[in-house]
Amino acid sequence: MPSPFPGMDPYLEDDALWPVFHHQLIQSLHQILQPSLIDRYRARVNQRHYVTEQALFTSVIREEHHEDYIEIRQRSDGRLVTLVDVVSPANKLKPAGRAAYLAKRDEGKHVKANLVEIDLVLQGQPTLEYSRDGLPDWDYAVTVTRATQPDRYEIYTTTLQKRLPRFRLPLASDDRDTVLDLHTAFTRCYDQGGFAAKIDYRKDPSTPLSDEDRKWLHDVLKQQKLR
């Protein structure tokens, strides 16, 4: 069964679902990306690890996090060309999660790699700060920062009610971009992860929604007889 929504599924922000979704989405992106890369490059899935702490009455809850990301490197010398990362709720809500995410981004900047940051999380503080003046409202974004123009962002946006975007993924400066369809990756991820059987659509999602989005979500689920 496919996702009932035209784009991102906000139910996936749930703490119990996100780690599996994050892993599966990176795997799907990697599967789609591999055939489009010429022999000059290799793409590999790596993982960052960190621990968050939360005070609960008289005790402290420690939680380990493992978050996948993709590195595209040149085969000849192993140089990092492009870093593809997916923002998690912990990266936007918890100091340790944010620090771990930003540290990985800084590593990419330090070696002058291209950065692709995929943010499909509604809650929390954005990991990128830039002006939205003159831009349409959006819920989700893919932000591309080219190594040749580190102060300029290419922003591909969408809303909860629309399909996820296609975006241009940069490689070496003397090579052509490749194009990735995020929605195709999401669809494959949702199917391979078996999320239709894991989500109870009779309940509201754990992430807060505006009144307009909540009404829209309820209408979609009712039309598909999931409520």
According to the model, what pLDDT value does residue 58 have? 75
Q: Judge contact between 92 and 124, C-beta under 8 A.
A: yes
According to the model, what pLDDT value does residue 59 have? 79
According to the model, what pLDDT value does residue 60 have? 78
For residue 208, pLDDT beyond 80: yes
Q: Which residue spans within the chain are E strands per DSSP?
A: 41-56, 59-74, 80-87, 114-119, 140-145, 153-158, 166-169, 178-181
The share of the chain scoring above pLDDT 90, in percent, equals 86
For residue 133, pLDDT beyond 80: no
Model confidence at 1, pLDDT cuts 50, 70, 90, reads confident
Surface-to-core class of residue 215, CB atoms within 10 Å of its CB (0-12 exposed, 13-18 middle, 19+ buried): exposed
Q: What's the whole-number average pLDDT of the chain?
A: 94
Model confidence at 26, pLDDT cuts 50, 70, 90, reads very high
According to the model, what pLDDT value does residue 91 have? 97
Model confidence at 134, pLDDT cuts 50, 70, 90, reads confident
For residue 210, pLDDT beyond 90: yes
